[in-house]
A and B are shown apart, each in its own frame.
Chain A
Amino acid sequence: MSILRRSRFLNRLSIIAVMTSSAILAGCFGDDESWRGKDISGLMPELAFELTDTSGDTLTADDTAGEIRMVFFGFTSCPDVCPATLQKLSRAVKDMPGELQEDTRIVFVSVDPKRDTPERIASYVDFFSDRAIGLTGEEKALRELSKRYRTTFGYDDPDEEGNYNVSHSGAVYVFDREGDARLLFRPDLSIEDIRADLVALAEESGI
Chain B
Amino acid sequence: MSAVDYLIPYDFSPVTILGFVLVLGFYGYGLLAMPEADRPGSGRILVFVVGVMICYGVMQTRFDYYSQYMFFVHRGQHLILHHLGPFLIALSNPLPVMRFLYSRIKPGIRQALTPLGWIYRFLQHPAIASFLFVGLIYFWLWPPIHFDAMLSRDLYWIMNWSMLLDGLLFWWLIFDPRSPVVSDALGYGKRILLLALVALPQMVLGATIVFSRGMVYDVYEVCGRAWPMPPETDQLLGGLLTWIPPAMMSILGILIILRRAMREDGKLSPYSEKLEATHP
Residues of A at the B interface (CB closer than 8 Å) are 10-11, 13-15, 17-18, 21, 25, 28-29, 31, 38, 40, 42-44, 73, 146-147, 150-154, 156, 165, 167-171, 184, 186-187
Contact = CB atoms under 8 A, between A and B. Distances in A.
A186 B218 contact: yes
B226 interface: yes
Contact of B151 (A21, A25, A29, A40): A40
6 contacts: A14-B128, A31-B144, A43-B152, A167-B227, A184-B222, A187-B222
Interface in B127-149: 127-128, 131, 135, 139, 142, 144-145, 147-148
Contact of A171 (B68, B135, B223): B223
A34 to B, nearest CB: 15
B221 interface: yes
A152 B155 contact: no
Nearest to A45: B153
Contacts, number: 78
A140 to B, nearest CB: 13
Nearest to A186: B222
Contacts of B11: 147
B150 interface: yes
B223 A14 contact: no
A40 B144 CA distance: 11
B266 interface: no
A166 to B, nearest CB: 10
A44 B151 contact: yes
Contacts of A15: 127
A151 to B, nearest CB: 4
B224 interface: yes
A150 B153 contact: yes
A150 B142 contact: no
Given A14-B127, A147-B11, A154-B228, 6 more contacts: A13-B122, A29-B145, A150-B223, A152-B224, A153-B224, A187-B221
Nearest to B229: A167
A164 to B, nearest CB: 11
Contacts of A17: 122, 128
A154 B227 CA distance: 7
Interface string B205-220: 0000000000000100
Given A14-B125, A14-B128, A18-B128, A167 B222 contact: no
B72 interface: no
B69 interface: yes
B127 A152 contact: no
Interface residues of B, number: 31
A132 to B, nearest CB: 21
A169 B224 contact: yes
B62 interface: no
Contacts of B155: 43
Nearest to B155: A43
Contacts of B127: 11, 14-15, 18
Given A31-B144, A150-B223, A169-B223, A44 B131 contact: no
A170 B68 CA distance: 16
Contacts of A146: 224
Nearest to A28: B145
Contact of A168 (B131, B148, B156, B224): B224
A151 B224 contact: yes
B39 interface: no
B270 to A, nearest CB: 17
B131 A25 contact: no
B223 A44 contact: no
A14 B123 CA distance: 9
A25 B145 CA distance: 10
B44 interface: no
Contacts of B156: 150
Contacts of A170: 221-222, 224
A134 to B, nearest CB: 19
Interface in B58-86: 65, 68-69
B226 A151 contact: no
A165 B160 CA distance: 33
Contacts of B227: 154, 167
A82 B193 CA distance: 53
